[in-house]
Amino acid sequence: MAATYKAKLERIRDNYLNILLLLTQVVADPKNRTNIDALFAATDNAGLPRPMVDNSVDGESYSWTSYQSTVIDLLDKLNVLIQRAEGPWEVKTRPLF
């Protein structure tokens, strides 16, 4: 079970790494529609919400860079979970009386 859990976490991490790479390209050139379309396709394939572009609508602001920070934070948390899933494990038993 731990191996399956670890494999799922690694797939999720790979999706986020791909999204982070595409997101970095969008932040570098936010007017390049090809980069934005590739990012949207990656988030859709991973089942993740689409990021919002840098703009303000009805008093709410959306930012590529804050989305990028969120993805980096999620990657950090995923790496911790993967490390925990790898072990080492210590099994303790109690004598039955």
Over residues 65-90, the mean pLDDT reads 81
User: 61 versus 65: which is more confidently predicted?
Assistant: 65
What is the structure's pLDDT at 36?
75
What is the structure's pLDDT at 66?
77
Burial class (CB in 10 A: 0-12, 13-18, 19+), 73: exposed
What is the structure's pLDDT at 56?
60
pTM over 0.75: no
What is the structure's pLDDT at 52?
62
Torsion sign, CA atoms 28, 70, 42, 58: negative
Q: Where are the domains of the chain?
A: 1-51
Kindly tell me if the per-residue pLDDT of 18 is higher than 80: yes
Over residues 83-92, the mean pLDDT reads 77
Torsion of CA 70, 52, 10, 45, to 10 degrees: 170
Over residues 38-67, the mean pLDDT reads 70
